[in-house]
Amino acid sequence: LYVCMFLSKTKFCASLLQPNETLVMTVTLMSQEKNTTLLQKTSSEAFHSCEQFQAPLVQNEMVQTLEVKVRGNTYYSKEVRKVKIKVYQPVTFIQTDKPIYLPGQTGNSEQIFYDLQNMVDNRIGQWLNQTSNGKILQLSYSLNSEAREGSYSVIVSIGESKLYHSFKVEKYVLPKFDVKIDSSDESNIEQEEIKAEVCAKYTYGQPVPGSVNVKVCRPLQRYFYGTPVITTEHPGGVPEFISPCYKETKQVQLPWRPSHFSLLKLCEYKGRPYMCYTPVVSVNEGEVSFKLKVSAEIAPEVQIVAYTILPSETVIAHSADFSTEKCFSHKVSLEFSPSSAVPGEETTLQVTAQPDSLCGVSAVDQSVLIKEPGKTLETAKIFGLLPVRKATSIPHDIQEPVECLHVWMRPRRYNVGLKMATNLFIRVPSCLKFKGREYHQGHYGDFFLLYQVTHSEYLPALKQLPVSLLGGSGFSPQLPPIETVRTFFPETWIWDLVEVGESGTKDVSLTVPDTITTWETEAFCLSPLGFGLAPRKEIKVFQPFFLELSLPYSIIRGEHFELKATTFNYLSSCIMVTVTPTPSLDYTLTPLSGDQYTSCLCGNERKTLSWTMAPSALGVMNVSVRAEALASQASCDNEIVSVPDRGRIDVVTRSLIVKAEGTEMTKTYNWLLCPKGQYALTEETDVQLPDNMIDGSARCFHAGDILGRALNNLDGLLRMPYGCGEQNMALLAPNIYILQYLKNTQQLTPAIKEKATNFLTSGYQRQLNYKHQNGAYSTFGSGAGNTWLTAFVLRSFAKAQSFIYIDPTNIEESKTWLKRKQRENGCFEQSGKLFNNRMKGGVSDEVTLSAYITAGFLEMNTPVKDPVVNQSLSCLKESISDLSNTYTTALLAYVFTLAGDMETRAHLLKHLDTVALNQGGFLHWSQTATETSASLSVEISSYVLLAKLSASPTAEDLGYAARIVRWITGQQNYYGGFSSTQDTVVALQALALYSSLVFSPGGSSTVTVQSPSGQLTFGVNQDNKLLYQEEVLKDMTGKYSLVVQGNACASVQISLHYNIPTPADVTTLSVEVKPEADCTGKSQRPKLTLKYSGKENTTNMVILDIKILSGFVPDPESLKRVSALLVDRVEQKEDHVLVYIQELPKDIPINHSLELIQELPVQNLKPAVVKIYDYYQPSDQAETEYIFPCVAGNNL
């Protein structure tokens, strides 16, 4: 007699019982490729042994045959059983440092291959073919400040499988305390009261004073159709009784058909086989007991099957499952020393793990986990990732064939994934008969094999795995007093990989952040022993006492306010505190709190002290106040004051901006001077300022490169808001052209590349906010798609692909959408407005738009023979008979240059030459002879420059282009941009192309600037060509002369920055403000009336810029109400409210109002400026002032 049992793993057990002769048992694993002998044993005595074998390698899964032969001189038996060999991928999980982020924050994650998608499935980041020797890959990604709120997904691809992890992005304020409710889980219906304890504690452990409202609700009970309910009455179900232990659960198998299932075999975990423990005991009757060592290797489930062979040679069996504690063989621990700290203190984190482990360590502010609970990394979630925790049946495809159709019975051994090959009698149900016939063609039929854990069950758990951070408590030995200057307030403190080395222990030196909170810290480690997870550890950061400052964001020179410093004592004893502001030459402080600046502060008390602050300088100034607990023999509340062992000094520094009165103005003088040989170039200018100037300064800038100023201000070429899709592209596109120029001239350094690509990535993210599902883009992401903007995005994204990741799907979708807009005549249908209505002229807007789109396709290297491009060029060629619109003519000249149609190009350039404005070696174009728009003139001149330079320019062409470049650079603003967005984009594209063509790596020059009071000298050479050199000039007015000598070009700018009284000039735009106020409630509601009276039917997009009065803040609900008719967007930027208005109709007043709340009183309050301007023609503007009407005699 023999029994051979084997797991669907790498071990089988064989028994030989009562042999009558010498027998040979042979166990063979057979496949189509080869046969492998696992056991061959000769014995004349009974034996029982378990053998381990190496499962063969398979691609995915394979069914093989296990054959058992027993042979003797007079005896022979053979049994064959099917087994499944299945490959399981290593367990992978994704961890982010936080479960929730603010727009603009940087997210960190650890995983393998990485995609990042936003809430509308736009892929905003991608990392390909990432590898890590330590099995942990750590990446980060910066969200832009305009990132959409909602759910984002991290997608990890490993082979053909994908794992998902989600996190939130929203504008939130972290909670300062946590509320917990402790009550019994059950309550008797006869109870008159339900007892509950509500506890609220700050994240630094102190109780929260206040009142609480508790609401008791009964959940709505619902029963869903199709879901059977297990009851204690048949036939509804099978009764199962359990003891009413607290939180005890019992699993029942409902008769349901899952929508997804996986056939899995028991697999290795952490490199160790499934444990098989097989004691053999002979007994006539009674009980049998044995000991089983419970260790981490058999977690989380132990399955036991017992079988016996009766004297009748019949086998009977039973099985049972037991849950174990979820723990890992790899033990990891964390310890902080000291275990608590004060802000800014040095601490040591000790990480202990198996030698040569690599550990991921993280610490997050407890407030984050209060805001988004249940998102920590826990042992149960890691075990939930295992493909199989325990088996409950044998996979269907390796069920043994049946002899006949019978009632299906699941043997007990199936419950633990065991199969048995034996010549013993195993009872099975008898064959079914119908009308005397047995049905032998039958099989087990359709049924589903249920495993307790499947991929589909635990994938949601994987998606939700964020980082967790852990903590401990305790008191550390006394340390020297620490002066705390609190400036560092992160939400994630630690996010790092730590190698523990051969010793298995690593001490990490850290500086505690300045946040008063508890840091939740965790660590997981990988080693040859497997995965380990440390128990969570906390470190409480607490200041025994600390102070807060109250001051406005900004004020106007001449105003003064009450600076308040509030001290808090969270000790149980009284302390003697002295509060002292740091002296400064930038302001004066007058005490208002008498002799209270050194006084008692008893346990859990707070005290506010005040000074009148009067700034005497302009600009940003730091205001610092210091609080110190003093040793004193004085008594407070009849007790001797104490002195904290640590954190006895707290220093808080806040910044204050002091601005000049009136309106800010900037005026620039620009020169591009290129001397040759020994001849110097000289320029002179007379700098004058208006008589009513309030305050100002002058600066002289120099660089050896035309793009030097732009390169220094890649993120701020314009001092204008960037709140819509077109404006965001104007921020993104110049970075592309500058990167292309630097790359082509081999001047691109790693630092510049990193800076520029970061701006590109942020701009790409932000632009997806304005994308429609059909691939189009609109100005604010709503309404119909805009063809002009979509073409702008398409051409920019196509070029940006060489520097950052751009999802190819986005490009293809936009291209397809534009193609659908093409008419039968080849031109494109206009959807949405032209950005600048001054582009309109003698030809239709359709031609201008079609030329712009065609230029985009050609810049993307689309062949001229492409049907879309070919038809568009045909349409454009028909329009060249009308050249009355200079803008369109310049754009067409660029298009036909890209298309290689030199005949048409020459015709267009010849006409442009006749209408050019040639003044003293400077060459430029305007829309009409009377047009004064500098913005449109820059754009037209830039398109002519692109047309001249995009077709293998000759020396004559470069000389012609130099005259255009001199004029264009003369229009640059202080930051390197121009007047508005489109002129900045096209001009920098043209200047970058020109710079690439005339670039010379050698040469040097000396620039001498002679001012009325002195001389400045700048040097330019190969090493500092891109260096931004700037000096402040002592004189603002007078005659200036510039001399440049050498053989390298020099770009020189003198910029004036000053304030003047708010002008009351009458222009095409006007704005009036009528303030209304509640003087008792310290709030006001200024009413604004906007009006346009120009020659166009409507304006372009208009920006209403409202400066907030010092000490006031806008009411958030009021900002929502401003978003009315014609308003696309309202945003608050520092002390300004910006309103984006689609357009203003001619001669129709438009009214808006805004509610302001006084947060801090300011004395001698000055008026605030309200400004309205055309975004694409900033020279069309109007300004006015308003004041708080409750100010009497200009004093509060």
Please, what is the average pLDDT of the chain?
Answer: 80
Assess whether pLDDT exceeds 50 at residue 1: no
Task: For residue 1063, give both structure tokens.
Answer: 């002008």
From 659, 682, 708, the end of a domain falls on 659
Q: What is the pLDDT of residues 91-120, one digit of tens each?
A: 777 878 887 887 777 777 665 334 566 655
User: Which of 326, 320, 335 has its CA nearest to residue 415?
Assistant: 320
Assign 169 a pLDDT band (cuts: 50, 70, 90).
confident
pLDDT at 463: 32
Asked which of 19-33, 107-121, 231-245 is least confident by mean pLDDT, the reply is 231-245
Q: Is 300 inside a domain boundary?
A: no
φ/ψ of 511, rounded to 5, equals -110, 125
- Please list, in sequence order, all residues whose beta carbon lies within 8 angstroms of the beta carbon of residue 498, skipping any fewer than 6 positions away: 351, 358, 359, 360, 361, 506, 508, 523
Q: Is 1070 inside a domain boundary?
A: yes
Report the CATH number at residue 1174: 2.60.40.690
SS3 of residue 941 by DSSP = helix
* 808-820 and 787-800 helices, crossing angle to 10°: 150
Highest mean pLDDT: which of 339-343, 557-561, 629-633? 557-561
Q: In the beta sheet, which residues pair with residue 307?
A: 317
pLDDT at 4: 47
Q: Is 558 inside a domain boundary?
A: yes
Q: For CA atoms 707, 712, 715, 719, give the dihedral sign.
A: negative
SS3 of residue 1156 by DSSP = strand
Q: What is the DSSP letter of 416?
A: G
SS3 of residue 1013 by DSSP = coil
The DSSP secondary structure of 541-576, one letter per residue, reads E--SEEEEEE--SEEETT-EEEEEEEEEE-SSS-EE
Asked which of 136-140, 174-178, 449-453, 850-854 is least confident by mean pLDDT, the reply is 449-453
pLDDT at 841: 44
The b/e string for 197-206 (b: 16+ C-beta within 10 A; e otherwise) is: eeeeebbbbe
From 659, 677, 695, the end of a domain falls on 659
Q: Is 630 inside a domain boundary?
A: yes
Q: Are 470 and 334 in contact (CB under 8 A)?
A: yes
Assess whether pLDDT exceeds 70 at residue 1075: yes
Q: In the beta sheet, which residues pair with residue 1088?
A: 1073, 1152
Q: Are 569 and 575 in contact (CB under 8 A)?
A: yes
The DSSP secondary structure of 490-535, one letter per residue, reads -SEEEEEEEE-TTTTEEEEEEE--S--EEEEEEEEEEETTEEEEPP
Average pLDDT over residues 1172-1187: 89
Domain total for the chain?
Answer: 2
Assign 483 a pLDDT band (cuts: 50, 70, 90).
low
pLDDT at 174: 80
How many angstroms separate the CA atoms of 238 and 236, rounded?
7
Q: Are 1047 and 1034 in contact (CB under 8 A)?
A: no
pLDDT at 432: 62
Q: What is the DSSP letter of 219?
A: P
Report the CATH number at residue 637: 2.60.40.10
From 659, 675, 698, the end of a domain falls on 659
Q: Are 340 and 468 in contact (CB under 8 A)?
A: no
Q: Are 363 and 494 in contact (CB under 8 A)?
A: yes
Residue type, 1009: V
Cis amide bond preceding 273, omega within 30: no
Cis amide bond preceding 373, omega within 30: no
**CB-neighbour burial class of residue 614 (10 A; exposed 0-12, middle 13-18, buried 19+):** middle
Q: Is 160 inside a domain boundary?
A: no
Q: Are 148 and 120 in contact (CB under 8 A)?
A: yes
Asked which of 768-777, 839-848, 906-915 is least confident by mean pLDDT, the reply is 839-848
Q: Are 1089 and 1170 in contact (CB under 8 A)?
A: no
SS3 of residue 47 by DSSP = strand
Average pLDDT over residues 293-297: 76
In sequence order, what E strands does 1000-1086 have?
1005-1011, 1014-1020, 1029-1033, 1038-1046, 1050-1060, 1069-1074, 1077-1078, 1083-1084
Q: Is 939 inside a domain boundary?
A: no
pLDDT at 280: 57
Asked which of 466-470, 780-784, 1136-1140 is least confident by mean pLDDT, the reply is 466-470
Task: For residue 334, give both structure tokens.
Answer: 């964390």
Asked which of 312-321, 982-991, 1121-1130 is least confident by mean pLDDT, the reply is 312-321
pLDDT at 466: 33
* 955-970 and 934-949 helices, crossing angle to 10°: 160
First to last CA, the chain: 106
Assess whether pLDDT exceeds 60 at residue 867: yes
SS3 of residue 23 by DSSP = strand
Q: Is 1176 inside a domain boundary?
A: yes
DSSP β-ladder status, 922-924 and 1029-1033: unpaired
How many angstroms separate the CA atoms of 742 and 754, rounded?
13
Assess whether pLDDT exceeds 50 at residue 1180: yes
Assess whether pLDDT exceeds 90 at residue 897: yes
Q: Max alpha carbon distance in the chain (Å)?
A: 126
How many angstroms separate the CA atoms of 274 and 880, rounded?
81
How many angstroms separate the CA atoms of 1071 and 1181, rounded?
9
Task: For residue 112, give both structure tokens.
Answer: 């393998």
More confident residue, 112 or 1028: 1028
Asked which of 598-612, 677-691, 715-729, 747-761 is least confident by mean pLDDT, the reply is 715-729
Q: What is the pLDDT of residues 492-514, one digit of tens each?
A: 999 888 999 999 999 999 999 98
Assign 392 a pLDDT band (cuts: 50, 70, 90).
low
The b/e string for 47-83 (b: 16+ C-beta within 10 A; e otherwise) is: eeeeeebebeeeeeebebebbbbbeeeeeebebebbb
Assign 838 a pLDDT band (cuts: 50, 70, 90).
low
Q: What is the DSSP letter of 936?
A: H
Assign 296 a pLDDT band (cuts: 50, 70, 90).
confident
Q: Is 0.95 surpassed by the pTM of this model?
A: no
DSSP β-ladder status, 340-341 and 537-541: parallel
Residue type, 410: R
pLDDT at 427: 62
Please identify which residue in the block is written with the tokens 């520029």: 756
Q: Is 298 inside a domain boundary?
A: no
The DSSP secondary structure of 792-819, one letter per residue, reads HHHHHHHHHTTTS---HHHHHHHHHHHH
Q: Are 839 and 847 in contact (CB under 8 A)?
A: no
Q: Where are the alpha helices (DSSP H) in 116-174?
A: none
Q: Are 1140 and 724 in contact (CB under 8 A)?
A: yes
Average pLDDT over residues 361-369: 90
- Could you list the residue range(s) of the whole structural domain that residue 1134 is in? 1062-1186
pLDDT at 252: 37
How many angstroms separate the CA atoms of 307 and 17, rounded?
14
Assign 1096 a pLDDT band (cuts: 50, 70, 90).
confident
Question: How far from 654 is each of 176, 555, 586, 616, 624, CA to CA, in Å?
Answer: 21, 14, 14, 17, 7
How many angstroms separate the CA atoms of 317 and 307, rounded?
4
* 845-859 and 867-877 helices, crossing angle to 10°: 140
φ/ψ of 923, rounded to 5, equals -130, 130
pLDDT at 164: 76
Question: Where on the phi/psi map is residue 606: left (φ > 0), alpha (ψ -120 to 50), or beta?
Answer: beta
User: Which of 488, 486, 511, 396 has its CA nearest to residue 444?
Assistant: 396
Q: Are 309 and 46 in contact (CB under 8 A)?
A: no
Task: For residue 413, give both structure tokens.
Answer: 């051994």
